[in-house]
């Protein structure tokens, strides 16, 4: 018989099957809308009935969960907040596009609804039709119960199937640029075509294969418009990918198709030269880069031996802290890692000296929960009073009452001071007042004066200070209450009233006896600290929603955890990975403690973040391995992507190192392709000292490459790369504070020649960019191998009204090399040996 319009297809309240298992918690979840940043879709599958998803206040709204693979669905539980759905459907889908309704009602009463259903699918959604109130739809929890089959997860291989295979091309520029040079595995050789359109390069894989990815490593002469094509006979071609907006650099293209022959077919060059590829890589498999799943991993657990947790009753705290410092004071390139964690309470007579790879943090929800009647100190006695190598350490979430009234934090790069309250002053210089080259403060309250003294540059964000003294070359402030007035270049203060967008770093804390990770909410036009008015805004995640990465964890374990929908908490240690860590679920949190370090062993990219909302990656050191990696961190894929303004991807305190420990290699340090990404405090460093250092020994051409639109960098430190340190290709980018040194070890002028331009700029904005803005930007040269080298300019940008730079400088350190201009052909040259900056207040 016909169903009435209000009939249901399954009955609520029926007892669940005995085999029901909750399979949705922590999985990837999306929604048609959110009410605000504190009610994201992920909060409906976090297992916490104190957090919720809520939609915009219109009828047609939905929330859906991706279970990761097809499942048999037996029950759905809806725990409504007071704003519930009166009419809605429960639907399943195999592909996220075509939906089957397995439950429907027009008479829901809200509350907790246990719905016994029968269906299959990878995706399950609540499709709201009519609201019961004037608000949106709001769910404390959206739970799906059922079981998974044994369908294997499809894979994309990591091997380059094109390497060493026969390659042909439409033309070559000369005898030194044959087609075979693009498939020889050597990024120092290349294929180049004649300077005409169209041109092509193709490779014969030897047999027909399933194709899943093509990687184009362009030389400067790239293809703006081109197609990736496949063929079984080398004559009839199918197009797998097409673009008219190629940006060059490294382009990783996910494709789907099959063929024996694969080619790149160029129809429009990006330059007046031909097409030129260092490498043309083809990967085969079944069409996804998700690694095969293994046995499930167990979430939660202890924090391992290198997280030292103290409470006020712990005996001999000072002795233990001193023991760690004795190991780490000068241990610049060692493998030891430590996190010193202090439970809420008051600690007296503590002076915690912080050495390399050591983090100190309070475990309260607010900094004032953990009080030191004492100090957290960094000085430079180990290096004869010079603090320019005080790297890789951190202090977070503590309330300090310094014994002398002033705490000392004499650091340089990669040493964040976050979410701190100093009831007194803060001295940023070593006791000897030798040089320091820091540094970074965020979300902190310094009641007294910040003494800059010998700090060459410093960035302070979203904080409150009692004052700021002195300045050397570049001191920048955004959103800082009490900041000095704008004064660049004399005094060298760049001051912005607010920070356009910011989201503070996630942190570990104790809720009673339970460890949780707090994820602060996004702020717009922020000023002052995020925690000053009681309970901070954001959400909490149980440690049971994390895979705790400890000694013995493998890349396979880590990827399995991600496939299960878990977040990642890296405990202090050094982790070698033989496959890329692939983060594909929206709002995944990846948090490192104690400068946890990830090293790719076989030339893979260490970490890749998919083009999805809200991923947070923080607190990691990515260290290049001896086999060249395309990049150490990649966010998103090349080409047009989604917008993430409402829930941005945020990268914080993620540091990149190429060389220093060994002769590491990476074509790119960090690649940001996703739109609206925030990169908050990074030091991307091609080593100038340590092991494995040399112009070709630790080769890395590009430090920070941006292909996405509307990317914001706050506190950007990038140094010593062989070509561009920063290469910005996306529109709408913003940088607040940039510190750079050009590579010391360039052997001669010819080694850095960029066509007709002397030297690769420290900060390059592509000519295709129409909108870009930067504040407080500085580049220095110290060519100690050949002091006669001249850079035409430190900054190179298109001359257009939408591209604006404020408060920029170049400097020659002791006269070892010189800059002819600051930006393009503007700005006086540096000269002599006096280390006196050349400044430009505004460009154009």
Question: Which residues are catalytically annotated?
Answer: 741
CB 310 within 8 A of CB 352: no
DSSP 295-313: SPPPPB----TTEEEE-TT
Alpha helix segments (H runs only) across 471-613 = 555-563
Task: Give the Cα-Cα-Cα angle 487, 489, 495 (nearest 5 degrees).
Answer: 40
CB 698 within 8 A of CB 669: no
Among residues 72, 82, 70, 83, the alpha carbon closest in space to that of 128 is found at 83
Q: Please give the helix or strand (H or E) that residue 509 lies within, else none.
A: strand 507-511
Kindly provide the residue ranges of all beta strands, DSSP E only, lying in 687-755, ordered along the sequence. 702-706, 712-719, 726-728, 733-741, 753-754
CB 761 within 8 A of CB 743: no
CB 740 within 8 A of CB 763: yes
Distances from the Cα of 146 to the Cα of 72, 74, 117, 443, 712, angstroms: 5, 5, 10, 44, 42
Q: Number of helices (H) and strands (E), helices first, in the chain?
A: 2, 61
Percent helix, strand, coil in the chain, to 5, is 5, 45, 50
The first and second tokens of residue 599, run together, are: 């090293």
Give CB contacts under 8 A, 24+ apart, made by 720-725: 720/685, 720/686, 720/687, 720/688, 720/744, 720/745, 721/669, 721/686, 722/686, 722/695, 722/752, 722/760, 723/754, 723/760, 724/760, 724/761, 724/762, 724/763, 724/764, 725/684, 725/762, 725/763, 725/779
Residue 173's SS3 state is coil
Kindly provide the residue ranges of all beta strands, DSSP E only, lying in 601-645, ordered along the sequence. 607-609, 616-623, 629-635
| Count of beta carbons in the 10 Å neighbourhood of residue 178 | 18
The first and second tokens of residue 788, run together, are: 């006669």
Residue 50's SS3 state is coil
| Count of beta carbons in the 10 Å neighbourhood of residue 521 | 15
Residues 6+ apart with CB under 8 A from 18: none
- How far, in Å, CA of 769 to CA of 60, rounded? 38
Q: What are the b/e assignments for 123-148, b being 16+ CB within 10 Å?
A: bbbbbbbebbeebbbbbbbbbbbbee
CB 290 within 8 A of CB 322: no
Among residues 162, 298, 165, the alpha carbon closest in space to that of 228 is found at 162
- How far, in Å, CA of 526 to CA of 311, rounded? 33
CB 464 within 8 A of CB 550: no
Paired strand residues for 66 = 28, 123
Kindly provide the residue ranges of all beta strands, DSSP E only, lying in 232-322, ordered along the sequence. 238-243, 250-269, 276-284, 307-310
- How far, in Å, CA of 740 to CA of 717, rounded? 6
DSSP state of 12: B
Residues 6+ apart with CB under 8 A from 522: 37, 501, 502, 503, 647, 648
Q: Please give the helix or strand (H or E) that residue 592 lies within, else none.
A: strand 589-600
Give the HSE-up count for residue 690: Cα atoms under 13 Å, Cβ half-sphere.
20
């Amino acid at each position: 018989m016909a169903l009435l319009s209000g009939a249901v297809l399954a009955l609520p309240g029926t007892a669940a099957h005995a085999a029901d298992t909750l399979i949705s918690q922590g999985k990837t979840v999306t929604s048609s809308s959110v009410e605000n940043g504190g009610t994201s879709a992920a909060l409906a599958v976090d297992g916490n009935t104190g957090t919720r998803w809520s939609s915009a206040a219109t009828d047609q709204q939905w929330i859906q969960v991706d279970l990761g693979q097809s499942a048999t669905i037996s029950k759905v539980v809806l725990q409504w907040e007071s704003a519930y759905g009166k009419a809605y459907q429960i639907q399943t889908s195999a592909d996220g596009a075509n939906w089957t309704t397995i439950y429907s009602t027009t008479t829901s009463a809200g509350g907790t609804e246990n719905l016994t259903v029968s269906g299959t699918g990878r995706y399950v959604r609540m499709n709201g039709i009519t609201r019961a109130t004037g608000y949106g739809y709001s769910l404390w929890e959206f739970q799906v119960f059922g079981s998974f089959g044994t369908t294997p997860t499809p894979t994309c291989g990591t091997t380059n199937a094109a390497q060493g295979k026969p390659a042909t091309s439409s033309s070559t520029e000369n005898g030194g640029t044959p087609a075979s040079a693009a498939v020889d595995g050597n990024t120092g050789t290349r294929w180049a075509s004649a300077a005409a359109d169209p041109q092509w390069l193709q490779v014969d894989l030897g047999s027909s294969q399933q194709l899943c990815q093509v990687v184009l490593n362009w030389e400067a002469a790239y293809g703006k418009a081109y197609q990736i094509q496949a063929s079984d006979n080398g004559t009839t071609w199918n197009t797998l990918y097409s673009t008219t907006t190629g940006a060059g650099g490294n382009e990783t293209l996910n494709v789907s198709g099959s063929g024996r022959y694969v080619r790149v077919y160029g129809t429009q060059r990006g330059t007046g030269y031909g097409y030129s590829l260092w490498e043309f890589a083809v990967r085969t498999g079944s069409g996804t880069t998700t690694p095969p799943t293994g046995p499930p991993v167990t979430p939660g657990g202890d924090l391992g031996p290198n997280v030292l947790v103290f409470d006020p009753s712990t005996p001999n705290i000072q002795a233990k802290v001193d023991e760690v410092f004795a190991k780490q004071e000068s241990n610049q390139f060692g493998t030891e890692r430590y996190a010193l964690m202090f439970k809420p309470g008051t600690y007296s007579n503590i002076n915690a000296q912080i050495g390399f790879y050591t983090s100190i943090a309070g475990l309260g929800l607010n900094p004032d929960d953990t009080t030191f009647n004492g100090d957290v100190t960094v000085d430079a006695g180990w290096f004869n009073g010079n603090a320019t190598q005080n790297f890789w350490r951190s202090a977070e979430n503590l309330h300090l009452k310094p014994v002398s009234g002033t705490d000392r934090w004499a650091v340089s790069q990669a040493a964040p001071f976050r979410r701190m309250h100093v009831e007194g002053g803060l001295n940023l210089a070593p006791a000897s007042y030798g040089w320091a080259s820091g540094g970074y403060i965020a979300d902190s309250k310094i009641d007294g004066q910040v003494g800059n003294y010998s700090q060459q540059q410093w960035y302070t964000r979203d904080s409150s200070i009692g004052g700021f003294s002195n300045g050397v070359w570049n001191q920048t402030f955004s959103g800082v209450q009490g900041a000095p007035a704008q004064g660049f270049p004399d005094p060298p203060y760049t001051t912005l009233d607010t920070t356009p967008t910011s989201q503070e770093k996630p942190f570990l804390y104790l809720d009673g006896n339970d460890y949780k990770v707090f994820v602060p909410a996004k702020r717009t036009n922020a000023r002052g600290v995020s925690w000053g008015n009681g309970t901070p805004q954001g959400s909490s995640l149980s440690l049971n929603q994390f895979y705790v990465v400890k000694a013995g964890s493998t890349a396979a374990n880590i990827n399995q955890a991600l496939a299960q929908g878990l977040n990642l908490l890296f405990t202090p240690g050094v982790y070698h990975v033989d496959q890329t860590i692939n983060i594909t679920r929206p709002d995944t949190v990846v948090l490192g403690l104690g400068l946890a370090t990830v090293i790719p062993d076989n030339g893979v990219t260490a970490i890749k973040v998919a083009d999805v909302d809200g991923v947070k990656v923080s607190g990691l050191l990515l260290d290049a391995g001896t086999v060249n990696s395309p990049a150490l961190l990649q966010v998103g894929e090349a080409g047009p992507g989604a917008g993430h303004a409402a829930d941005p991807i945020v990268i914080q305190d993620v540091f990149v190192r190429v060389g220093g420990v060994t002769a590491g290699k990476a074509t790119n340090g960090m690649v940001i392709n996703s739109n609206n990404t925030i990169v908050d405090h990074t030091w991307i460093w091609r080593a100038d000292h340590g092991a494995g250092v040399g112009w070709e020994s630790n080769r890395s051409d590009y430090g920070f490459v941006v292909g996405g639109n509307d990317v914001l960098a706050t506190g950007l430190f990038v140094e010593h790369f062989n070509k561009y340190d920063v290469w910005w290709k996306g529109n709408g980018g913003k940088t607040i504070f940039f510190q750079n040194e050009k590579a010391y070890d360039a052997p001669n002028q010819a080694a850095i020649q960029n066509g007709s331009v002397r030297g690769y700029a420290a900060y390059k904005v592509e000519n295709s960019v129409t909108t870009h803005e930067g504040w407080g930007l500085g580049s220095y040269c110290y060519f100690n191998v050949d002091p006669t080298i001249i850079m035409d300019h430190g900054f190179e940008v298109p001359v257009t009204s939408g591209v604006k730079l404020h408060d920029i400088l170049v400097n020659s350190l002791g006269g070892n090399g010189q800059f002819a201009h600051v930006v393009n052909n503007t700005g006086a040259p540096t000269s002599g040996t006096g280390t006196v900056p050349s400044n430009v207040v505004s460009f154009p």
